[in-house]
Every structure is written in structure tokens, then in C-alpha cells.
Structure 1
Amino acid sequence: MSFEGYWPYVYIAVAGWLATDFWRWAGVLVGNRIDERSELLNWVRAVATALVAAVIAKMIFFPTGTLTSSPLWLRLGAVGFGAAAFFLGGRFRQILGIAAAIAFLAAGLALLGA
């Protein structure tokens, strides 16, 4: 089978869509039937939270790419500053927390000349 031009990208897009769209529709159909206070949903939330925490911890303690040029104290400070902005942010807390952490990290790197 020989692909030329844009066909590999079309194939990847269609295969990716088919692989994920089924799970989206299954989530919609099953999600309407799950009790929000159920043990299963509590477990799913706990696992999702743990995965996000693990990814953030990995980025802080074992950085890759551009983050490797920043010292550990700066990465930890950015997380703390972003968390403080999140808790004080009111209605826009998620956007404010992320933007504050990025701004803190960027300002720290600029001051360090990295």
C-alpha cells in the first residue's frame, strides 16, 4: 500500500477520529445513567486527579525541553504562585491560575537570563 501526498494525514485523522469518537459517544450514553454520588464515579475522579497530579509532578521534578533551563525553586514557585492565584481568582480561577504560573515562570527565566 503506497500513500502519497496528503493521504497519510487523512488516514491518521480518520483513524484517530474513529478510535476516539466511539468512546465519546459511549461516555455520553453511559454518563447520563451514572449517579453523581456513586462509588464508581468517585473512583474515576480520584484516578483522574491522581493522573493530573503525577503529570504536574513529573514536569516539576523531571522537566524536559525548555523547562530544563529553569531551576527547581523557580518551577516550585510558579506552581505556588499559580495555586495562590487560582484560589484567589474568583470566577476565572482556572485561567487566572494557569496564566499566573506561566507569567511567574517566564518572568523568572527572563530575570535569570535563561
Structure 2
Amino acid sequence: MKNNGEIITLAEAIEFTHEYQESFPSGNIAYAVSKDKLLDIIQQVGCEGVRIYNGIDAENGNSNLVLVGIDDDGEDMTQGVILERLNVCPSYCPVNSALIRSYNIV
């Protein structure tokens, strides 16, 4: 778990996010979660990371994300804190972000 994930450049982030937005023009663009809620996950005893699952809310048919802690063995900490009901963009979007295709600030 220690080396899971890689820091990328802004150019790479723009490429990835714009490609997604072009492929799924009516899909959710982004999700926002507060630092406090992320800390609720990562400050659990034995938590070494966070896994993010894609999901669908059956009540409204909207896609969502489910966040759960991961222990040192790479297992989900399903008895701990699990997050969903994040703020979704569109609706809760940044005013100016190069990661949103319509702004195209590169």
C-alpha cells in the first residue's frame, strides 16, 4: 500500500478528465468530500489508504462513489467508516478549473 498511487502533472489530469467528460457528456464531472470526512477514514487504526468504488444510487439512477479504508493487507475496512453522498458536480462545481472541459484553460 505504501507506494499506491502516482502524482501526475496538471497536463495529464486535464487529459484524463477532459477525455472522460467528452466520453460521458451527461455524467457527473466530479465529486467533493470534506477533509474531515476523509480524515474519519484515514485516521482509523490500521488504515493505510482509501479505496474508491463506483456505484449507482438505485433510487435515482445517478452514479456515485463509495469510499472505504484499506488495511495494510489491501483489504477493505468494511467494519469502519464508509463514505458516500458526496457533493456532485454538476451542481457543486468549481468556478474556474482547468479540469472541467468547458473552461479549457491550458
Per residue, is there more helix in 1 or in 2? Answer: 1
Per residue, is there more strand in 1 or in 2? Answer: 2
Q: Give TM-score, length-normalised by structure 2.
A: 0.28
Q: Give TM-score, length-normalised by structure 1.
A: 0.27
